[in-house]
Every structure is written in C-alpha cells, then in structure tokens.
Amino acid sequence: MQALWRQIDQLHAALVPGYFRASAPGAAAGGAPAARPSPRFVAEPHAIMLVAEANAPPGAGAAAVIGAVLARAYDTPSDPAMVPRRRAHVEALVVDQEHRRAGVGTALMEAAAGWARERGATEIVLTVWAGNQAAEAFYQRLGYQVISRALSKRL
C-alpha cells in the first residue's frame, strides 16, 4: 500500500507542487512512514477502502495489492437551497503503474459504486486535480461529468 500511496503522492506533487510533496520511498512527506488511509477513516461506518490484488504465483506468498479506492457516503447538509440526497465521495483511487489500463480502476470504481448504492447513495462524486488529463478521461469513459470547478489564487 505504501508504494501505491507514493505513486499518487508523486503524481499530485508533479501536478500541484504548491499543495503536495512527493514522499520518499517507504516514507510520507517529512520522513514518517506512510500512514494512509488513517485508522479513523477506515473505522468510520460510512467509509470504505477496497483493494485489488494481483494473483501471486503458487508458493509465492501473499498476493500483491495493485490498486485501492477510498470512498465515503454522506448526506447533503441541511440547507433549504440543496436537494436532500445521500451521495458517495471517492476520496482517492490509485492503481499501480504497471497494472493500469487493464480494468483494475474500472473494477474498483464499480465496486465503490455498488458499496455506495447499498448505503442508499443516489450518486457518486469525486475530484480530479487540474492537469491530470488521464484521470479525467478515465472518469469520463465511466460516465462522470463535470459539475464544478475549484479555482485558486496565490496571495
């Protein structure tokens, strides 16, 4: 899992260096061991981490984790301007570089959507960092559409 989080950290650091730092091998930013997702996230009753594993050759031991998705189900805030609805939010999706474009991400996203449906969610949302065209194209192929854009200005 640490190797997967390093891959996503490095991508995010390259895309938005003002927000993210790439972690060193075996460590998170600052040198501490990578600790994502937090135990608090995994313990939440409306959150889940799903993983994809590669089959290990016979006698090789445990299967390797090659992908993961973190998702959370939530209700819209109590606001008269908002349509009340239960949604799911994909916090993170990562697939090992060597296993991309083989259906792993699609399978993880389908599993997350199924989990969300079981919890009464009527839609699933996520964010993609600007410049990550590969991820944006992937999500569009799965039927996701842009509903918002976040803007930033350095002060």
Domain 39-155 falls under CATH 3.40.630.30: yes
Contacts of 4 (CB under 8 A, 6+ apart): 65, 66, 67, 68, 94, 95, 96
CA–CA separation, 139 and 60 (whole Å): 34
The ranges assigned to domains in the chain are 1-36, 39-155
The confidence score (pLDDT) of residue 36 equals 64
CA–CA separation, 56 and 38 (whole Å): 27
Tokens of 70: 């973190």
Ordered per-residue pLDDT tens for the chain, 155 residues: 888 888 988 998 999 888 888 865 555 444 444 546 666 666 788 999 999 998 767 676 677 899 999 999 999 989 999 999 999 999 999 999 999 999 999 999 999 999 999 999 999 999 999 999 999 999 999 999 999 998 989 89
Prediction pTM value? 0.83
The confidence score (pLDDT) of residue 74 equals 94
The confidence score (pLDDT) of residue 132 equals 93
CA–CA separation, 117 and 136 (whole Å): 23
